[in-house]
Amino acid sequence: MMDIKSDKQHIYWNPYLGGFLLGIILIMTFFFTGRGLGASGAAKAIVTQTVHTVAPTHTENNAYYSDQFLGGKVPISNWLVFEVIGVVAGAFISGSLSGRVFFRVQHSPKITARKRLWFALLGGALFGFGAQFAKGCTSGAALSGMTVLSLGGYIAMLSIFGGAFLFAYFFRKLWL
């Protein structure tokens, strides 16, 4: 007889239903806020608020940070910050309810956990740099762009998946 907990670990949502619901959420976000989803705006708001707390004069004299405070705005009150908090909380609740919350590093037997973490950190840093360079993350550029039928959104999505497909060949030993 199967253990109930181990049976729960393999229950996932239908990916087509998940994609459909994501599309509905994107459309509703445009309807209610006038813009799409994205996480890099939240990261920028948190970094800007943190720098302002530590060195307020620096943020006021820096063109990159100062525009976040125009008109008395408080960057940390940006709705994208609350979006990301909701995503993290929702993921934790979902994982907890399905018995899939574990604090471990999954990696290939070919590499160490430490090496896997370094590559994850490097990948995250490159992703953050790319998001700032492109003035938005994959969610904003690709998903939100495709939602409004933007040619740029489709090009971004093809570039993201095409680039990932090409790089996967060279980095596959990190997870296989």
User: What digits encode the pLDDT tens for the residues 150-165?
Assistant: 898 899 889 888 888 8
Q: How confident is the model at residue 176, as a pLDDT?
A: 66
**pTM for the complete prediction?**
0.69
Q: How confident is the model at residue 11, as a pLDDT?
A: 67
CA distance 162 to 176: 20
Site of tokens 């949502």: 13
User: Which residue from 101, 106, 74, 77 is spatially nearest to 89, judged by alpha carbons?
Assistant: 101
Average pLDDT over residues 60-80: 84
Within 10 angstroms of residue 174's Cβ, the number of other Cβ atoms is: 16
Q: Are 39 and 80 in contact (CB under 8 A)?
A: yes
User: What digits encode the pLDDT tens for the residues 84-105?
Assistant: 899 899 989 988 887 888 888 8
Q: How confident is the model at residue 93, as a pLDDT?
A: 92
Q: Grade residue 1 by pLDDT with cuts at 50, 70 and 90.
A: very low
What residues contact 48, with CB distance under 8 A and at least 6 apart? 59, 65, 68, 75
Q: How confident is the model at residue 89, as a pLDDT?
A: 94
DSSP letter at 141 equals I
